[in-house]
């Protein structure tokens, strides 16, 4: 019985000592070191957590965080949307009537991006979309704090094409296709009439 009481007091004393140590250390800022540091998991000084947002942990070079798209380099190939395991990328392409420019690596652009949305609430940060992109226009940034109040605010829209302009581009392409079809049909009728 006495042994249990002594054991109880000893355990309580150890717990209180640890609590008091952390109570008085709570005003000290935690020293920010990288994960590669040999002392990273042995930090015994300061608080258990960093004082965010005043202090921030360094972002690793290979960290996977917020996705970003450089639309000037996007050829709207749709590979990122196809490889995404959670379908968080939504792309709507419109064929152009002619080449509409070039990316920074010299690839010719032939499609307009009427819609290029990424739902970061669904994203699992696997990085597959960045790997398959032929022009490397989709990248993962070092931004990890994207706190929002509405879930819909986590859907980022990268295309700046208005619905009116998209409708105009669709109409131009449809007109071009109709003209090509009429020319083809006229050539076939001329060929059949001459034979």
CATH code of the domain made up of 67-163: 3.30.70.3270
- pLDDT of the residue at 129: 95
Alpha carbon of 87 to those of 42, 51, 64, 129: distances in Å?
40, 35, 18, 11
How would residue 9 be classed by pLDDT, with cut points 50, 70 and 90?
Answer: very high
More confident residue, 19 or 125: 125
- Answer whether 0.85 is exceeded by the pTM: no
Digit-coded pLDDT (tens) for 77-122 = 999 999 999 999 999 999 988 888 888 888 889 999 999 999 999 9
3-class SS at 115?
strand
Kindly give, in sequence order, each residue whose CB lies less than 8 Å from that of residue 112, ignoring residues fewer than 6 positions away: 76, 93, 94, 95, 96, 100, 161, 166, 169
Can you say whether residue 145 is alpha, beta or left, with left for phi > 0 and alpha for psi between -120 and 50 degrees?
A: beta
Token pair of 92, please?
A: 């709507």
For residue 34, the 8-state DSSP code is -
């Amino acid at each position: 019985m006495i042994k249990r009481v002594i054991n109880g007091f000893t355990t309580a004393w150890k717990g209180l000592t640890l609590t008091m140590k952390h109570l008085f250390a709570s005003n000290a800022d935690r020293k920010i070191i990288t994960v590669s540091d040999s002392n990273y998991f042995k930090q015994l000084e300061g608080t258990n957590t960093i004082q965010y947002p005043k202090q921030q942990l360094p972002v690793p070079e290979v960290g996977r965080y917020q996705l970003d798209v450089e639309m000037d380099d996007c050829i709207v190939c749709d590979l990122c949307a196809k490889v995404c395991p959670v379908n968080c990328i939504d792309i709507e392409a419109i064929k152009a009537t002619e080449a509409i420019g070039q990316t920074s690596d010299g690839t010719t652009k032939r499609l307009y991006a009427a819609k290029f949305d990424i739902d970061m609430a669904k994203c699992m940060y696997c990085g597959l979309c960045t790997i398959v992109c032929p022009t490397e226009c989709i990248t993962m940034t070092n931004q990890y704090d994207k706190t929002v109040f509405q879930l819909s605010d986590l859907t980022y829209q990268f295309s700046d094409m208005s619905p009116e302009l998209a409708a105009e581009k669709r109409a131009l392409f449809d007109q071009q296709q109709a003209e090509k079809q009429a020319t083809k049909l006229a050539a076939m009728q001329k060929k059949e009439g001459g034979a």
